[in-house]
Amino acid sequence: MGMNGEVRTRFAPSPTGFMHLGGLRTALYNYLFARKMGGKFILRIEDTDQERYVEGATEVIYDTLRGCGMQWDEGPDVGGPVGPYIQSERKDMYLPYAKQLVKTGHAYYCFCTECELRQRREAAEKRGEVFKYDKHCLSLTPEEVQAKLDAGTPYVIRQNAPTEGTTSYHDLVYGDMTFPNDTLDDMVLIKADGMPTYNFANVIDDHLMGITHVMRGAEYLSSTPKYNLLYEAFGWEVPQYVHLPSVMRDSHHKLSKRDGDAYYSDYVEKGYLTEALINYLALVGWNPGDDREFFTMDELVDVFDVARLNKAPGIFDVDKLTWFNAEYIRRMDFDRYLAMVTPWFDRVLAGKGIDYTRLAQLMQERTEVFNRVPDMVAFLGKLPEYDVDLYTHKKMKTNPEVATTALELCLPVLENIPEDAWSEANLHDRLMEKIQESGMKNGQVLWPLRIAISGQASTPGGAMEIAYLLGKDETLRRIREGMKLLESAREA
């Protein structure tokens, strides 16, 4: 265990501009485990790969984690006892450790140029072999090495990995893992620019930060032996490993950055709720052991158990996420729903004088994802073109002839309701009274009325609600247009 026996986990993203869902889930499991065990959750920014660095990307990481309700105990902005928590600010720390390994024979200076390595790689490929560094520079004498260093020859420092035997470790998800050492590469620890590689910095930082449980993606299962050889070379305690199943779109495909389904921000922009996303993401690769599906973050902390992580890849099913999202929206406080849906209404209804509160009441049950809202309410802003066939509905016993009668019945009733009495209750009472008088069935009148004023078969709310939302002038204008459409269909 770490300092005084407490569990310490870390999330160590690279600031590349976006938060991948796989990375977000890794953060979530690290957070849940640390909270469950009463330990510390540490945020470390791994920015040693300067070519991939994106301006402002660190803020994206902060905003995403905070927005999801994961607060870190130690990190770049909150500080802590083992900082700095940004790798590039630690860059002078790593070389002395690499030199220590050179002294003990666990690492060596390598002066091979890119060009030489490329030639050997191509030669290996021609022979049909997988290229790994051939320990060429390990044979240099200490004098030859010193001469090259004195001459200022560019170098990297490589790990001296064993070529025989096996390396084993225990993983809390995948069990006992054993790898033949002849598959290990002499990986670069310090690059030619003096910066550590991701692999080396990772080990040094995890040790110096007292990380007790390294929870990360399953793609690191096969690199872990190289890390463990470094821990052993330093005589350091090896952390516990928890490798997490990958997050896939289906059994054959990763989440695709191109299709807009890989990043947290993709879902937020589409109008998914963060809490629905976190709830669902927790269940992609882990299960609580019973049928419960809905969890707040605190409830997830309560039930989280590493033993229930799956080995198989977790399938991220957007339809299932959408189902969760619709449930969360339905259970949402109405005022919060109204505030969230307003900008989506505005896209198609801004300046139309529509009663958003009433529209939101009609829409909350029907909203699955916010970005689908504009299409569902656009008809209120502008009557869509529609086909006269919509007036025919078997179950409602209506067709164009019946519809013509129905609209002729409704028009004078609605004309006679004063503007200041244009309420759903009045619309309902006057229309129902007229329908009963006429001896027609409700559906025979209300279906054609709804088609005329909405131009579509499926709408939030019925004829009365839509007429109320549109207001008197627009309702009458649309009914008259409907009557013209029916007339020209008859003439044709």
- Name the one residue in this structure whose structure tokens are 């790898």: 179
Phi/psi for 247 (5° steps) reads: -100, 120
* CA angle 460–465–467, rounded 5-degree value: 115
What are the DSSP calls for 360-419, one per residue? HHHHGGG-SSGGGHHHHHHHHHSPPP--GGGG-BTTTTB-HHHHHHHHHHHHHHHHTS-G
Decide: 7 and 36 in contact? Cβ < 8 Å: no
Q: Which conformational region is residue 341 in: left (phi greater than 0), alpha (psi within -120 to 50 degrees), or beta? A: alpha
- Show Cβ contacts of residue 357 under 8 Å, excluding neighbours closer than 6 positions: 338
β-pair type (188-190, 240-244)? unpaired
Pinpoint the alpha helices (H) of 211-317: 224-234, 264-270, 274-282, 297-303
Single out the residue of 113, 169, 101 nearest to residue 137, CA to CA.
113
Distance CA 437, CA 294 (A): 51
How many CB atoms lie under 10 A from the CB of residue 326? 17
Decide: 77 and 120 in contact? Cβ < 8 Å: no
Which residue of the set 40, 148, 257, 311 is catalytic? 257
β-pair type (240-244, 213-217)? parallel
Q: In angstroms, how far is CA 169 from the centroid of its own chain?
A: 31
Sign, CA torsion 221/227/232/237: negative
DSSP state of 462: -
Distance CA 61, CA 67 (A): 10
Would you call 257 a catalytic residue per the annotation? Answer: yes
Single out the residue of 320, 321, 325, 318 nearest to residue 340, CA to CA.
325
Single out the residue of 439, 426, 435 nearest to residue 475, CA to CA.
426
Q: What residues are annotated to the active site?
A: 257
